[in-house]
Structure 1
Amino acid sequence: MTQPVLGFVGLGQMGSRMALRLLEAGYPLVVCDRVEASVAPLVAAGARRAESPREVADLADIVLGSLPTPDVVRAVALGTDGVLQGQRARCFIDLSTTGPRIAQQVGAAFAEAGRVALDAPVSGGITGAAAGKLAIMVSGPRDAFDEIAPVLAVLGKTFFCGEKAGQAQVLKLANNLLAAAALAISSEAIVMGVKAGLDPSLMCEVINASSGRNSATQDKFPRAIIPRSFDFGFATGLSHKDVRLCVDEAEAMGVPMVVGSAVRQMLAVTSATYGADSDFTSIAKVVEQWAGVEI
């Protein structure tokens, strides 16, 4: 069976690694990004360059996107030079974290045109993207999911969340809220211990053998905070965007987000203090600064 030609729009830290895995798996690949430095390595590895999402969709059967914000996803998918305007592609897979409302808009527009869009946000960071070990949450028509499952299997483990557009996005927002909340509250707990004279590595060891263990104490503190590299690989601005989306969506659904709102504020302070491009583990530095100690 001939492999489909794939298109990939958005070659940032996540997208570039996912695109390379698809290329290395033997899929013909067409790529597009506004940053030439992101496109060149994939072209050198055998991908074909396109100048716009529309051109990608003129050349590919299936188009994947990994994009930073809901507005960018809307423009890439539905804009005048977007994927929906292409003549060949019949399926658009959005790997971004955008919230359910954008997924519903995109899904409805593609369905009206006789095509299909699936929202497929991913979790696992740049390490998971490079290793093909992402968790991929997918929602949309089941037959379309079954058709594209082999493509997504190159990138990680898939979880079918339902046929309603946006269901995968809700699950991804919930996951990212939990990750950010764990980082924020663990920063407060570890800083408290350090101020009392405890060793932060010992604290993480004990916490991870106890009921307080979480993704921050198990991974982010040992890898990026205690060594003071603050380079876990996820930008503060993106984490803030995800948590803001989660809180906004929850409020629209009538679900209270008391703790989530506090996490959103902590990320807003971190972004204002260290910049949106800082690593989101910098949230620990905010707590350090307030407490007058250093982990």
Structure 2
Amino acid sequence: MKDTIGFVGLGNMGRPMAERLIGAGHSPVVYDRSQAAMAELATAGAPTAATLEELAERVETIFLSLPTPEVVLAVGRAIAAAPGRAKRVVDLSTTGPKSEMELADILNGAGVALVDSPVSGGVAGARKGLLALMAAGPSAHFTVVEPLLAAFGKVIRIAEEPGKAQVMKLINNICSAASLAITSEAMVMGAKAGLDADVMVEVLNAGSGRTSASVDKIPRFVLPGSFDFGFAISLSLKDIRLCLDEAERLGVPMMVGNAVRMLFAVTKADFGPDADMTAVIRPLERWAGVEVRGRAAREA
């Protein structure tokens, strides 16, 4: 499949996924607005494209890993306008179902199919090939890209229609964000009561309070005080907003989800859009007058 795969977007998630394709023996043609990002992938063995249009002229399958629906749609329009070889686009981004269906219309109008395949698992999962991929798109095109997606992790087929995988991704993300929010609140409460943070995590993970936050995000990125999980609070808030917008469209109340959005919004306002999502505990710490840090932070 040399020179038949393209990859657009070499950020925190895109770069390790492109590297996974290279490690699996492929030579994805890469494009990013950052020349430095492309240069790093070129060093790893990936050919580069000077423009989106050039990339679309050289490859049949184009992967997208982009930060917002607006950027995804702009890239989709550029691909659709290019008189190239592209037969299908695989969108690994989180855009929400409305934007994804709009993207499908844009691409289909140019004879290009869309496979909607958002991912979950963070930067660490992308590096290790342990992501969960939710895929929705025409069966004929899904069959072509499924072996490629397998380089990133576990592929779960959701539906035939693009947009359905986005709904599943939003459901996953709101559950993940909610678990981080409530576990952060609980850890701050325990710290205020004088409990040891490492012991709290040990108990939660041995009992029914176990969540992805208590297993991974809190012990690895909060207790040491590093706050470097690798996903910006602005992107987390975008995903939460997309979920709540879709829930409203469907007529589903999201009372807990709205509370989660408030905490993430406060964190963004207090610490800036580039703050790590694990920083959601920091406003809670400030309000309570305590810090939740573990043994590693105390011994540093």
Q: Which residue of 1 aligns with 2:11?
A: 12
Q: How much identity, in percent, do the aligned residues show?
A: 51
SS at match of 2:208: coil
Give the conservation status (yes or no) of the 8 Å contact 1:56–1:86. no
Paired residues of 1:56 and 1:83 also in contact (CA < 8 A): no
Alpha carbons 1:52, 1:82 under 8 Å: kept: no
Q: 1:86 & 1:279 partners in 2: Cα distance?
A: 40
What residue in structure 2 maps to residue 119 of structure 1?
116
How high is the TM-score relative to the length of structure 2? 0.94
After superposition, where does 1:1-295 map in structure 2 within 5 Å? 2=1, 5-78=4-77, 81-295=78-292
Does the 8 Å CA contact 1:54/1:83 hold for their aligned counterparts?
no
Question: 66-75 or 206-215: which moved more?
Answer: 206-215
Aligned residues: 292
Alpha-carbon shift at residue 4 of structure 1 (Å): 6.1
Structure 1 unaligned segments of length 5 or more: list them: none
CA RMSD of aligned residues (A): 1.2
Q: CA distance change for structure 1 residues 70 and 267 in 2, over 3 Å: closer, same or farther?
A: same
Task: Report the alpha carbon displacement of residue 110 of structure 1 after superposing the two structures with TM.
Answer: 2.2
Q: How many angstroms apart in 1 are the aligned matches of 2:83 and 2:64?
A: 14
Does the 8 Å CA contact 2:80/2:106 hold for their aligned counterparts?
no
Structure 2 unmatched ranges of 5 or more: 293-300
Contact 1:188 1:287 in 2 (8 A): yes
Task: State the distance in 2 between where 1:86 and 1:231 align.
Answer: 41
Query: Which moved further from structure 2: 66-75 or 128-137?
Result: 128-137
Aligned to 2:296: none
8 A contact 2:2–2:28 mirrored in 1: no
Tell me the distance in 2 between the aligned counterparts of 1:104 and 1:5.
25
Superposed displacement of residue 51, structure 1: 2.1
Q: Is the 8 A contact 1:181 1:263 kept in 2?
A: yes
Which SS does the other structure have where 1:72 is aligned? helix
